Amino acid sequence: MFELPKLNYEYNALEPFIDATTMEIHHSKHHQAYITNFNAVLEKYPALQNLSSEEIVKNLNGIEVTEEDRKKIKNHGGGFINHSLFWEIMGPEKQINEQLLADINTEFTSLEKFKADFTQSAIGQFGSGWAWLVYDENGKLKIYSLPNQDSPLTIGHKPMICLDVWEHAYYLKYQNRRVDYINNWWNVLKLI
């Protein structure tokens, strides 16, 4: 059974960009709910319980489950995986991934161009969802957004950076100002 991952920082460590109250609710309530519901559906399928969450979601269309449970796995398994990466790539101090930074500069011509393109993808996500930087099936970097808790794993892509643009990720501090949240989030992304 999957468990809520521990953060490598305190809930207040990302202030003033992401407030402690939002972090605590987002992590301990929202993320925990995805895990609880993901585990509940997996209880029906013992064969899936020995797989990693990534293996389950990546092979979602090929596993034998009911269509109703496939949707639950997509939503709750995706919510578990997406949030786990989200917490991991943020922090109060930079820990630059030099290879990723080099690939970004090669693919997007500059870090500034990448940030502008990624920001536009996040802003352009209608409703709830995520903005993604992924390596596609050919090892090429791509930016796109996906709705709800959909995961790039289901289309064979390797997620590297993700930004949660569900309102629960920012509403307490930013209310309806998604753009302010996105622009401030760059300050806590530790990889680049």
Amino acid at 162: C
Q: Could you report the per-residue pLDDT of 152-163, keeping only the tens digit for each?
A: 999 999 999 999
Q: What's the pLDDT at 171?
A: 97
Q: 141-147 and 129-135: which strand pairing? A: antiparallel
Separation between Cα atoms, residue 97 and residue 106, nearest integer Å: 14
Q: Which CATH class is domain 98-185?
A: alpha beta
pLDDT confidence band for 148 (50 / 70 / 90): very high
Name residue, tokens 């997509």. 74
Pick the CATH number of 20-89 from 1.10.287.990, 3.30.479.30, 3.80.10.10, 1.10.510.10: 1.10.287.990
CA atoms within 13 A on the CB side of 126: 0
Q: What is the mean pLDDT of residues 80-100?
A: 97
Q: What's the pLDDT at 69?
A: 98
Q: What is the mean pLDDT of residues 97-124?
A: 98
- 145 forms beta bridges with 131
Separation between Cα atoms, residue 32 and residue 141, nearest integer Å: 30
Q: What's the pLDDT at 190?
A: 97
- Closest to 77 (Cα-Cα) out of 60, 98, 65, 63: 60
Where do the domains of the chain lie?
Answer: 20-89, 98-185
Cβ neighbours around 139 below 10 Å, total: 8
